[in-house]
């Protein structure tokens, strides 16, 4: 009997959104449900990997046999990722991490005022989780995602190069039947000397297909 394709490998997967507080009652976030990342975690575990899931706030149950670490903010996910990435073989960044956070979180609930119809929030850049992992001296095989609404191939390849990734899975998030918070997705996967289209399918089926590509490129490196 052949060993499962990820047998003996440590895989870290980020999933879900991050939340960036504005004040004690409000936050900035996005539409990620965590479904794609959790499907990857479940599939990787079934394929023999030891899986650690770094999860933003989602309403999903943790896949059987998977270790999960909960984080809320991008900064917390960044810290958790750096702590875990040192000791893993494959790192997959499926989380929708907020690129910016509020510069100064208000200590008390911000009040609506009668005299002003506008308000401004100053945002500062968050650390890039997957780029930081890919910059480690003993970097794991690092896979990113690219969520795009236009020029998918161009932006995905650009992100793979800029973030020093070994592979990137791009999805078009402008269509309602795929991407954020849907049961299905479609991916265009790129690595430095190849590409593969994975057609619209349930996220669990797609996760297995993506992990097969990852296992192949990991073994070839």
Interacting residues with ligand PMT (CB under 6 A): 14, 32-37, 74, 93-97, 99, 126, 128-130, 144-147, 159, 171, 173, 179-181
Measured over all CA atoms, what is the biggest interatomic distance in the chain, rounded to whole angstroms?
A: 74
Alpha carbons 154 and 148: distance in angstroms, whole number? 10
User: Which residue's beta carbon is nearest to the bound ligand PMT?
Assistant: 129
The answer to whether the annotation marks 99 as part of a ligand binding site is yes
**Sign of the CA dihedral running 73, 90, 128, 98:** negative
CB of 143 to ligand PMT, least distance (A): 8
Residue 129 known to bind ligand: yes
Do β-strands 123-125 and 141-148 pair in parallel, antiparallel, or remain unpaired?
Answer: unpaired
Confirm whether 59 is a catalytic residue: no
Q: Is 208 annotated as a binding residue?
A: no
Nearest CB to ligand PMT, comparing residues 49 and 143: 143
Give me the residue label for tokens 């000791």.
87
Distance CA 14, CA 53 (A): 6
> In angstroms, what is the minimal distance from the CB of 201 to ligand PMT?
13
| C-alpha radius of gyration, the chain, whole number | 18
Three-class DSSP category at 156: helix
Q: How far is the CB of 155 from ligand PMT (least distance, A)?
A: 7
124 annotated as belonging to a binding site for a ligand: no
Catalytic residue (one of 30, 126, 171, 185): 30
Secondary structure class of 102 (helix, strand, coil):
strand
Binding positions are 99, 109, 127-130, 145, 159, 163
Binding site for CTP, by residue number, is 99, 109, 127-130, 145, 159, 163
């Amino acid at each position: 009997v052949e060993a499962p394709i990820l047998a003996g490998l440590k895989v870290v997967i980020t999933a879900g959104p991050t939340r960036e507080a504005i004040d004690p009652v409000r936050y900035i976030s996005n539409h990620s449900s965590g479904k794609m990342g959790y499907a990857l975690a479940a599939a990787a575990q079934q394929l023999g990997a030891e899986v650690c899931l770094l999860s933003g706030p989602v309403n999903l149950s943790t896949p059987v046999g998977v270790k999960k670490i909960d984080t809320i903010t991008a900064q917390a996910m960044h810290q958790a990722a750096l702590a875990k990435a040192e000791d893993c073989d494959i790192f997959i960044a499926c989380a929708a991490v907020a690129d910016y956070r509020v510069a100064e979180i208000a200590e008390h609930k911000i009040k609506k005022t009668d005299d002003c119809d506008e308000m401004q929030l100053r945002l500062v850049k968050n650390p890039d989780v997957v780029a930081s992992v890919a910059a480690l001296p003993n970097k794991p095989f690092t896979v990113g995602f690219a969520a795009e609404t236009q020029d998918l191939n161009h932006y995905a390849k650009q992100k793979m190069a800029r973030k020093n990734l070994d592979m990137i899975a791009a999805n078009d998030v402008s269509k309602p039947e795929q991407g954020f918070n849907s049961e299905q997705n479609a991916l265009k996967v790129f690595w430095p000397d190849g590409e593969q289209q994975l057609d619209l399918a349930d996220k669990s089926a797609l996760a297995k297909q993506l992990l097969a590509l990852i296992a192949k490129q990991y073994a070839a490196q």
